Amino acid sequence: LLRSALYRFVRYRVVPPRPAAASSDSELRRLTDLVSGDTVAEYFARLDDLGRAEGFRVMVAVFPRIVRNFAPYRFRDQHQYVRNLSGTHGFVHLDLLPEFTRCRDASPEPVGADNYHPSPYGHRCGAEAMARVILEKLRPPRMR
């Protein structure tokens, strides 16, 4: 479970161990640092290796943080970082920021349930965009 960023976040940040439960201060510090460390590049490389070994292509879909206005979006550098990593590994990359902008402009229905999670409408918006990419770029051609 220590390889799961979500588990590490919950275990060492949300519900941190009591000092007596930790084997040592340095061990607790090491485990806490795992939560804050960037493991994206490491795990993209592992996913690339797995895809090559097992014969599947990888698609990375980047969901935007849900903000009031996507025009001055301050997380573009993080989206670019993931785009660059996707390109390095030959992954099909889909940045959903333009799709969420389009969906927000197309309907008064909110695209977000909160800052991090899409609403049902936002999920539909993302799913439709992903389906288009899968059908266009990832689906094997039909045999006649």
Percentage of the chain surpassing pLDDT 90?
62
What does the alpha-carbon distance between residue 108 and residue 119 come to, in Å, rounded to a whole number? 12
Summarised one tens digit per residue, pLDDT across range 61-86 is 999 999 988 989 999 999 999 999 99
CA-nearest of 52, 59, 45 to 137 is 59
The more confidently predicted of residues 65 and 17 is: 65
Phi, psi of 94 (to 5 degrees): -135, 110
